[in-house]
């Protein structure tokens, strides 16, 4: 009896000893993580729960229809989707940053983020011109296809990363008007000597046709037109141009918007600030920007017809550029795009990517959509 009891005790001791040894040498489980992992997890949870309060300068005034309304829509959407933890304070151009200096301010950390048209970066980042708007380029829904599914987003992020910037597509509109002119444009020769405000690559095209091109922020265009500093201008959609008063000093509004078949708006975020955000917050920014892109396109398409309908009673003549002018503009544009691609590798990459996407897309477009002149 004593012998059996001794044997039982010995077995029990051996089992307990083995269990202690196995626990000692077993790698830590997730619940028994190292103190460093616990600290990192704690910091991440704190980051996820912390409020985000950013100053965001805009390239257009909030009171402009469509262009200015969309940043406010985006900020409100983020606030609600984040359960009131993400707050963006929006500033009109010039309040804290000039309209053309937004990406500089974001890159340098003067503000956390900005809402801008990337084409204004053309002097520093040549590829931004085709990211923001390419003459005779993609239609807006095709651009969205290229951005989200054709590699556009990834390529743009790669180009902007060395500049300490994270760009997110946050809005898009359809074609702008081809401009507001005091006198009718009847031939390519009418561009010679014309003083015109024109943005992006389209401005370079008109320069080659003899125009004197200048760049002005939206809020300064009307005064320049009124005082005769410029003879003509382009800026945006009919409803936006109408709000800026162009029709009061230049009654010939030309179409189609050859220079900007699409125009994008991007939220640019300081890259270091972006990388410090919790994944949940990054996902919210992407989600809200995607929603804002669709919202802006729908809004822009919905409200132009009523403005054009009232052109005649407001003394405006809507004109379509003659086909021979459009052909010459396209010929000069293609030559310019090829030259820009030869001079900058990133420009060449973006242009090649968009052209490859369009080559496939056009096969679908030509077959799928009804002709509207039946």
Mean per-residue pLDDT over the chain, rounded = 89
- Check whether 6 has a pLDDT greater than 70: no
- Using the predicted structure, report yes or no on whether residue 272 has a pLDDT greater than 50: yes
Question: What mean pLDDT comes out for the span 150-166?
Answer: 98
Predicted local confidence at residue 112, as pLDDT = 98
Q: Confidence class of residue 34 from pLDDT cuts 50, 70 and 90?
A: very low
Q: If DSSP codes are grouped into helix, strand and coil, which group holds residue 278?
A: coil
Helical ranges in 27-185 per DSSP H: 35-49, 69-81, 102-107, 128-132, 140-149, 152-160
Q: What is the pTM of this model?
A: 0.86
Of the chain, the percentage scoring pLDDT greater than 90 comes to 86
In this structure, of 31-40, 132-141, 222-231, 287-296, the range with the lowest mean pLDDT score is: 31-40
Give me the CATH code for the 49-173+262-302 domain, please. 3.40.190.170
Residue 8 pLDDT class (50, 70, 90 cuts):
very low
pLDDT at 317 over 90: yes
Q: Per the omega criterion (within 30 degrees of 0), is the bond before 256 cis? A: yes
Q: CA 299, CA 58: separation in Å to the nearest integer?
A: 19
State the pLDDT at residue 222. Answer: 97
Domain ranges of the chain: 49-173+262-302
- Report percent pLDDT > 70 for the chain: 87
pLDDT of residue 235: 97
Does the pLDDT of residue 334 top 60, yes or no? yes
- What is the average per-residue pLDDT within 225-232? 96
Question: Model confidence over 45-64: pLDDT tens digits?
Answer: 344 557 999 999 999 999 99
Average pLDDT over residues 162-170: 98
Which residue spans within the chain are E strands per DSSP? 52-57, 86-91, 113-116, 165-173, 179-181, 195-197, 212-214, 232-233, 252-255, 263-270, 317-320
Q: Which residue has the tokens 């001791």?
A: 13
d(CA 238, CA 180) in angstroms, rounded, equals 10
Tell me, what's the pLDDT at 281? 97
pLDDT per position as a tens digit, 90-103: 999 999 999 999 99
pLDDT of residue 30: 33
């Amino acid at each position: 009896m004593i012998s059996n009891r001794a044997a039982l005790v010995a077995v029990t001791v051996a089992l307990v000893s083995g269990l202690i040894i196995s626990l000692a040498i077993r790698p830590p489980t997730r619940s028994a993580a190292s103190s460093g992992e616990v600290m990192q997890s704690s910091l991440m949870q704190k980051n996820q729960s912390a409020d985000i309060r950013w100053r965001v300068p805009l390239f257009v005034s909030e009171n402009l229809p469509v262009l200015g309304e969309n940043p406010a829509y985006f900020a409100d959407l983020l606030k609600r989707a984040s359960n009131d933890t993400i707050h963006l304070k929006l500033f009109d151009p010039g309040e804290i940053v000039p309209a053309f200096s937004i990406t500089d301010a974001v890159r340098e950390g003067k503000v956390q983020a900005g809402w801008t048209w990337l084409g204004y970066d053309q002097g520093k980042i040549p590829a931004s011109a085709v990211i923001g708007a390419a003459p005779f380029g993609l239609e807006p829904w095709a651009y969205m296809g290229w951005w989200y599914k054709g590699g556009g987003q990834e390529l743009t992020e790669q180009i902007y990363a060395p500049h300490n910037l994270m760009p997110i597509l946050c809005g898009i509109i359809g074609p702008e008007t081809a401009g507001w002119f005091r006198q009718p444009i009847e031939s390519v020769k009418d561009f010679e000597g014309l003083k015109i405000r024109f943005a992006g690559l389209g401005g370079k095209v008109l320069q080659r046709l003899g125009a004197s091109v200048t760049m002005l922020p939206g809020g300064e265009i009307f005064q320049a037109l009124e005082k005769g500093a410029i003879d003509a201008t382009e800026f945006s959609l009919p409803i936006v141009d109408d709000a800026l008063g162009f029709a009061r000093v230049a009654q010939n509004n030309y179409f189609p918007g050859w220079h900007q078949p699409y125009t994008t708006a991007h939220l640019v975020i300081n890259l270091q600030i972006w990388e410090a955000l919790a994944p949940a917050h990054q996902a919210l920014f992407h989600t809200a920007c995607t929603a804002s892109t669709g919202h802006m396109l729908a809004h822009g398409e919905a409200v132009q017809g009523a403005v054009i309908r009232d052109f005649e009673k407001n003394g405006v003549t809507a004109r379509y550029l003659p086909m021979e002018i459009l052909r010459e503009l396209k010929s000069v544009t293609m030559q310019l795009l090829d030259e820009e691609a030869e001079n900058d590798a990133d420009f060449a990459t973006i242009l090649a990517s968009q052209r490859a996407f369009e080559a496939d897309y056009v096969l679908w477009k030509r077959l799928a959509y009804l002709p509207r002149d039946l």
